[in-house]
């Protein structure tokens, strides 16, 4: 189980996370929704120490850390239990698709290189890119780069995979195939936290939906609860703006 408790984060005088708490059960998919600027990505980045929270604790597996005071060893332990899929792929431009995955395994997790290569080849095959092992990111489409990013995340056998708006940088025609791949990853039983604007994906895949606004968790519940029976007025307003009237009941 992953548990975040009382997480706060400010950038200068702007507080972007206000006492946020979140629990994710093993094997579950939690989707975080909300308007731009609601703190979704900052929360995700705080889990992986890409941002250092001002306050709060994280429990993941058998470890618990203070998000503000964590030492280098604590950060490393958390990063070995998490992997992340980024909006803009974050692949090394000077490494091939295969090398991007191998690097994460060897450097981040201490996997022997021969074993890392074998695992990287397996994951590239699973995402349909066996024939692109030796291609550099500049030779791949956006959708292919994101598939490499997903393969890299899955290869690390993390206790939780974090997805930060994984389709936001893609051309519209590539969104569907990327979402289908993420659905397949979910079906394999991976614990996942997904920040996305894709409502139909959230409804189909999520075990729990969390709606954030203004740095607060406004409401959380099952997809049915959030999309068809929201309790909070702010949630209702958000849904009215982004969903056709026939798609929700409030």
The per-residue pLDDT for range 176-215, each reduced to its tens digit, is 889 999 999 999 999 999 999 899 899 999 999 999 999 9
Strands 208-213 and 216-221: what pairing?
Answer: antiparallel
Q: State the pTM of this model.
A: 0.92
Cα–Cα distance between 125 and 26 in angstroms, integer? 26
Average pLDDT over residues 166-182: 89
Cα–Cα distance between 126 and 132 in angstroms, integer? 12
User: How do residues 72-112 score in pLDDT, each as one tens digit?
Assistant: 999 999 999 999 999 999 999 999 999 999 999 999 899 99
Q: Is a pLDDT exceeding 70 seen at residue 244?
A: no
Per the prediction, the chain carries an average pLDDT of 93
Extents of the domains making up the chain: 2-242
Average pLDDT over residues 218-234: 95
Q: Is a pLDDT exceeding 80 seen at residue 246?
A: no
Are 191 and 160 contacting, i.e. CB atoms less than 8 angstroms apart? yes
**What is the 8-class DSSP label of residue 149?**
H
Cα–Cα distance between 97 and 238 in angstroms, integer? 38
Would you say the C-alpha torsion 170, 172, 173, 175 has a positive or negative sign? Answer: positive
Average pLDDT over residues 158-163: 95
In the CATH scheme, what architecture does the domain 2-242 have?
3-Layer(aba) Sandwich (3.40)
């Amino acid at each position: 189980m992953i548990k975040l408790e009382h997480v706060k984060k400010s950038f200068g005088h702007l507080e972007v996370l206000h006492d946020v708490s979140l629990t994710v059960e093993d094997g579950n998919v939690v989707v975080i929704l909300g308007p731009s600027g609601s703190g979704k990505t900052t929360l995700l980045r705080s889990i992986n120490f890409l941002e250092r929270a001002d306050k709060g604790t994280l429990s993941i597996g058998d470890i618990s850390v203070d998000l503000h005071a964590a030492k280098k060893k604590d950060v490393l332990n958390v990063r070995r239990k998490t992997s992340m899929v980024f909006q803009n792929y974050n692949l090394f431009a000077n490494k091939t698709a295969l090398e991007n995955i191998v690097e994460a395994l060897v450097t981040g997790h201490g996997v022997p290189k021969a074993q890392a290569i074998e695992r990287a080849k397996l994951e590239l095959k699973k995402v349909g890119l066996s024939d692109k092992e030796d291609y550099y990111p500049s030779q791949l489409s956006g959708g292919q780069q994101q598939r490499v990013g997903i393969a890299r995340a899955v290869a690390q056998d993390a206790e939780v995979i974090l997805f930060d708006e994984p389709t936001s940088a893609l051309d519209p025609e590539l969104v569907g195939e990327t979402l289908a791949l993420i659905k397949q990853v979910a079906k394999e039983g991976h614990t996942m936290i997904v920040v996305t604007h894709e409502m139909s994906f959230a409804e189909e895949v999520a075990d729990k939906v969390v709606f954030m606004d203004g740095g607060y968790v406004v409401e959380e519940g099952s997809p049915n609860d959030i999309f068809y029976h929201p309790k909070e007025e702010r949630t209702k307003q958000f849904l009215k703006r982004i969903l056709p009237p026939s798609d929700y009941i409030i």
